[in-house]
Structure 1
């Protein structure tokens, strides 16, 4: 059984909490979680990667780590989130690394690969389409505009935190769609119920639009999307390949919801390892 250890990663922004597995000399892989989860979403991927000799680290990102939890939305811009990725990997001593992201972590992964292609050896994004592809879908596809309406609501509703946490976090729990293991769901709810944690997580939505457009990605990329994803529809998913100039593989998981890392961990692990091993593993 591969052990998963807790880490503290000091940076200029503060100390990030993380979990990790695998030999320290192994090829480094950084895994970024989304909302409303934490690094725990990647436990099955950490152990699978470690078993193959990779060094896998999953941090609690800005706002989720108590040591990096500024109160202002403007401290959660995409540029700042990308800077965190680089700061974390520099603290770990990783000049290059494989990058994996899901949900908001997937968005940060796309932007990191765009801004620092020389640092990112391979890119794997789960659920989240390329931001440029999503922008196209929002412009031409009413279905995607409907799917994305929650983002606007969470940005514009100051009482969102109270609504999500009321009645033992009943509304927050519905977001997991009964597809996340109950123990993990309880851990996420406990984490986000701590003072300031949910506001910090929602600040990702409230930080405003990026100050500059994202370009095409020149990093070998795997994109995994699921047909029952309620947040991201087929238009954005199918458009994503137009935004990658390097070797690209698009995988569709049928009858699977947004919560791929926990709902279909073995399938995702196989795809991820095949991708990494095919790029010099």
Structure 2
């Protein structure tokens, strides 16, 4: 695997785009290959802290942003502001701010969906792709009609509604996360994070913006970046059928890694996640 390294880099704690400011954790050697870590719902950049620590010790720089809706300085109100193209441009702005041309991109849950989208829209910015839990979007759509995935994904329809999801989740989020298998400390941390005014709505707006027309988005379906897809066979939200279909949408070197784990891979099994990210450097 080949990484392109610019001659100069700077440590960053935030970056800006289109009047929005995003918080970032930037750690590890500045002259090392760069890995970008994209969190999902209802996490934040700290969900990757344990993974980042292992990668940093192995000589890799890691960039973990709080994404749009999660950063307090990057929470637009309009649903249209949460279209896929906006998220893609946010990540590209992060790479520019950090002084890196191409990165190894890692994403989990919604961050995984964004990672697939960026691989389709801007493959020239990626040296490698590692997606955790989330199947290729076309594989997920196909699985809705050939498995129980539609039932697993029913909550996505509920999250489209205004104000009701916030009312249901605000006081129950920590308990629900525990029941879904997330470790105790992370469940508490995410519940406390989402209790701050505006954050839960910003996070849910990813679901509310997912179906909006996005004429400038990529129409490609085939990923041409070397890819590893890591899936936990105990995942309650994303089933086996979509996981198995994902390979057919990658026209590059591909690895499928099945773990005896649940949905919360970065938080619950960070050592295994880091192992697979590091293994990608050898393939």
Q: Normalising by the residue count of structure 2, what TM-score does the alignment of the two structures yield?
A: 0.90
Please tell me whether residue 230 in structure 1 is matched to residue 230 in structure 2: no
Please tell me whether residue 278 in structure 1 is matched to residue 282 in structure 2: yes
Q: In 2, distance between residues paired with 1:177 and 1:246?
A: 37
Alignment of 1:191-270 (within 5 A): 191-209=193-211, 211=214, 213-254=219-260, 256-270=261-275
- How many positions carry a matched residue from both structures? 269
**Is contact 2:14–2:24 with CA below 8 Å preserved after alignment?**
yes
Structure 1 outlier segments of 4+, above 4 Å: none
**Is contact 2:106–2:129 with CA below 8 Å preserved after alignment?**
yes
**Is contact 2:177–2:187 with CA below 8 Å preserved after alignment?**
no
Question: Relative to structure 1, is the Cα distance of residues 13 and 177 closer, same or farther in structure 2, using a 3 angstrom cutoff?
Answer: farther
Q: In 2, distance between residues paired with 1:189 and 1:216?
A: 37
Q: Normalising by the residue count of structure 1, what TM-score does the alignment of the two structures yield?
A: 0.91
Q: In 1, distance between residues paired with 2:19 and 2:105?
A: 21
Task: Give the gaps of 5 or more residues in structure 2.
Answer: 1-10
Indicate the residue corresponding to 2:133 in structure 1: 127
Q: In 2, distance between residues paired with 1:135 and 1:126?
A: 17
Question: Shift of residue 19 of structure 1?
Answer: 1.3
Task: Give the gaps of 5 or more residues in structure 1.
Answer: none
- Give 2:80's match in structure 1, choosing from 67, 74, 82: 74
Q: In 1, distance between residues paired with 2:47 and 2:255?
A: 23
Q: In 2, distance between residues paired with 1:55 and 1:121?
A: 14
Question: Shift of residue 12 of structure 1?
Answer: 3.2
Indicate the residue corresponding to 1:42 in structure 2: 48
Indicate the residue corresponding to 1:18 in structure 2: 24
Q: In 1, distance between residues paired with 2:58 and 2:202?
A: 35
Q: In 2, distance between residues paired with 1:113 and 1:104?
A: 14
